[in-house]
Amino acid sequence: MVRLLSLRKLLLAYFVMSTGALLWLILNFGLFCNSSSREEETLLTKTRELRRWEERLARKERDLHKKSVLDSTLPTIYAIMPTHTRHVQKAELTRLAQTFLHVKNFHWILVEDSESRTDLVTRFLASCGIKYTHLNIKTPEDYQLKETDPNWLKPRGVEQRNIGLQWLRENLDMERDRGVVYFADDDNTYSLQLFDEMRSTRGVSVWPVGLVGGLRFERPVVEHGKVVKWYTFWRPERPFAIDMAGFAVNLRLILENPQAKFELRVRRGYLESSLLQHLITMDDLEPLADNCTKVLVWHTRTEKPKMKQENKLIEYGRPSDPRIEV
């Protein structure tokens, strides 16, 4: 009997304690929820703050990189580059930026062949970490290449390079600014050594270009330190039988000769000559790249991607997500 009473007391005590604990939990449930909500809000606030600091750090890193590639003792390289919208455009620009990031005192003048500056190129340049100027001008319709036209049929990038020259003349000063002007293309490959060598250009410097003109290379032929002729298959009698990637011009010459520009109406292969004939003679050319015996730049056009399946999806009304930038 005593044991039975003790067991009942034990069960009663357990029931009272359990009920009390349950009541306490019910009464304080709101406090737990409020505490959890506050902690969640605090976590979200800290996450946002962390992201802001990460963005600031990324900006600081880009600024520090820009400072690291600036050297007041060196002239600036102004690279004027035409570009146009196509599937591989961003990939090409990304590849080039990885090279240009290593070049000290580099100013990228990127000129779009379009009626307006595109969002893709605008965003790309804003995040590339390179000093740049973003311009645009549309090629006249009569001089636009059709899809099936060969690359050599019409001069390309003429208006874009000329507006780049115009920007230099309107924004730079002969007494204040020192530099070298180079006409780059967005589908070439460049050795860093090329930029180191062209920086010493006093007038117009020249060098070989690889994989161009249907040859392994084209180059100026040098004898006793002077350019005497051109190694090329196509019209070697041209005044300057050289590829656009094969020369650089001292900024002073560009500023001193405002009439010098690329001619839109020019025979095949004479585009480079249309500019250079206003600036220099063959006798005064400066051969670089070990007397024009080393190739430091290549015409490496990226293969045009095949969009057969993408076009089928468009026909089916199920194109890939246009919000994903390629």
* Dihedral angle computed from the Cα positions of residues 233, 238, 239 and 241, in that order, rounded to the nearest 10 degrees: -30
Distance between CA 250 and CA 239 in Å, rounded? 19
213: left (phi over 0), alpha (psi -120 to 50) or beta: left
In three-state form (DSSP H/G/I as H, E/B as E, the rest C), the secondary structure along 256-294 is HCCCCCCCCCCCCCCHHHHHHCCCCCHHHCEECHHHHCC
Residue 231, strand partner residues: 219
- 74 neighbors 97 (Cβ within 8 angstroms): no
| Amino acid (one-letter) located at 150 | P
- What element of type H or E holds 66? helix 2-68
Distance between CA 29 and CA 23 in Å, rounded? 10
SS3 label, residue 216: strand
Q: Six-digit token pair at 52?
A: 């802001």
User: Catalytic amino acids?
Assistant: 272
* Residue whose token pair is 């040859």: 215
Strands ordered across the beta sheet of 209-212 = 188-190, 297-299, 209-212, 215-223, 226-231
Listing DSSP states for 144-202 in one string gives PPPTTS-TTSS--SHHHHHHHHHHHHHH--TTT--EEEEE--TTEEE-HHHHHHHTT-S
N-terminal to C-terminal alpha carbon distance within the chain: 86
Q: Six-digit token pair at 87?
A: 């599937």
